[in-house]
Amino acid sequence: MASVRIEEISKVYAGGVRAVDRVSIDIADGEFIVLVGPSGCGKSTLLRMVAGLETVTEGAIAIGERIVNEVDPADRDIAMVFQNYALYPHMSVRQNMAYGLKNRGMDRAEIARRVAEAAGILHLGDYLERKPRQLSGGQRQRVAMGRAIVREPACFLFDEPLSNLDAKLRIEMRSEIKQLQKRLGTTSIYVTHDQLEAMTLADRVVVLNGGRVEQIGTPREVYHRP
């Protein structure tokens, strides 16, 4: 786990769009931050800059003590869960979860231990030999989370992970993520436009508008509900 410091970062895309405009957020070790705001407000750009999938135009991002502006995505000690799952279709559930660790040269026993643990947490134990196409949408999303968990990163990044699921599954997975959060306590940044997800999951909600932080506070402060 680690704190994440986002200091005065901006993103100006080729063509001059200022998608993120001098945003600062101090995220404590173990804190769960939810980014909300209207479509086009810069949520995804901000998350992708933390992930290293997008360069930073100005400002600094630190994960723990380390400034990561120029650090490769693979070396950032983060794991991202994508909206479209981004699973490898030709690989089994087990292989999908193990692949990134294998590439890093981790030893087989440690990989097996981590995959078994993640499968247990995510109720995937009976599905380890299946291919993604043989799974339901909720199960696929669990595999995507499993792949992030096995990395044991300092920080999880979630990019609208539940928005491709139907309403019932969304509620179910929302509470699974809540359980996961209680169990692992990993620092997280979570993008959504679902207010219930924000209220359920967030320690603090960050409302972006036009690339700037419009409001930042507890769900209660932001949504004015008991």
Q: List residues near ligand ADP by CB under 6 A.
A: 13, 15, 17, 19, 37, 39-45, 51, 73-74, 79-80, 99-100, 103-104, 147-148
Closer CB to ligand ADP, residue 108 or residue 220?
108
Minimal CA–CA distance to 78: which of 61, 94, 103? 61
The distance of closest approach from Cβ of residue 214 to ligand ADP in the complex, given in angstroms and rounded to an integer, is 12
The DSSP H or E segment spanning 207 is strand 204-209
Phi, psi of 181 (to 5 degrees): -60, -40
Strand partners, 4: 27, 63
Quick check: 47 and 157 in contact, CB under 8 A? yes
Minimal distance, residue 19 CB to ligand ADP, in Å? 3
User: Residue 110 Cβ, how far from ligand ADP at the closest point, in Å?
Assistant: 14
Nearer Cβ to ligand ADP (103/226) = 103
Query: Closest separation between CB of residue 74 and ligand ADP, Å?
Result: 4
18: nearest Cα among 10, 28, 8, 27 = 10
For ligand ADP, the closer CB: 113 or 220: 113
- DSSP letter, residue 147: H
Give least dist CB 30 to ligand ADP, A: 19
Q: Which is nearer to ligand ADP, 12 or 225 (CB)?
A: 12
Q: Which is nearer to ligand ADP, 43 or 174 (CB)?
A: 43
Contact 138, 172 (CB under 8 A): yes
Number of alpha carbons in the 13 Å side-chain half-sphere of residue 205: 23
Q: CB of residue 99 vs ligand ADP: minimum separation in angstroms?
A: 5
| SS3 state of residue 41 | coil
Residues 115, 97: Cα–Cα separation, whole Å:
6
- Asked whether the beta carbons of 11 and 20 are under 8 A apart, the reply is yes
Q: Which is nearer to ligand ADP, 3 or 57 (CB)?
A: 57
